Amino acid sequence: MPMDTYKIFRKFLRDNDCERQFDAAFYEQCGANVLDKTLADILVIDEGFFGRVFRWDFTPEGREYWKAIDLKWFKLMAK
């Protein structure tokens, strides 16, 4: 992708009204780390990112919520 993937990802979270939920789940499940640009570069934000970063069923939103977000992200990245 021509733009910074981290910026695209953050915009996607805001546009889909799930930035707060994502940050909370990531922080809780990933050793109290915040997903900043440096960590995002290490983890590689790609079309399968949501499936790797935390357990959907361990969040208040649940599996179906994150499955829908994951599908939207996949479609955006597949363009």
Q: What is the pLDDT of residues 46-62, one digit of tens each?
A: 999 999 999 999 999 99
pLDDT value at 3 more than 80: no
CB 65 within 8 A of CB 34: no
pLDDT per residue as tens digits for the range 26-46:
999 998 889 999 999 999 999
pTM listed for this prediction: 0.91
Residues 6+ apart with CB under 8 A from 37: 4, 6
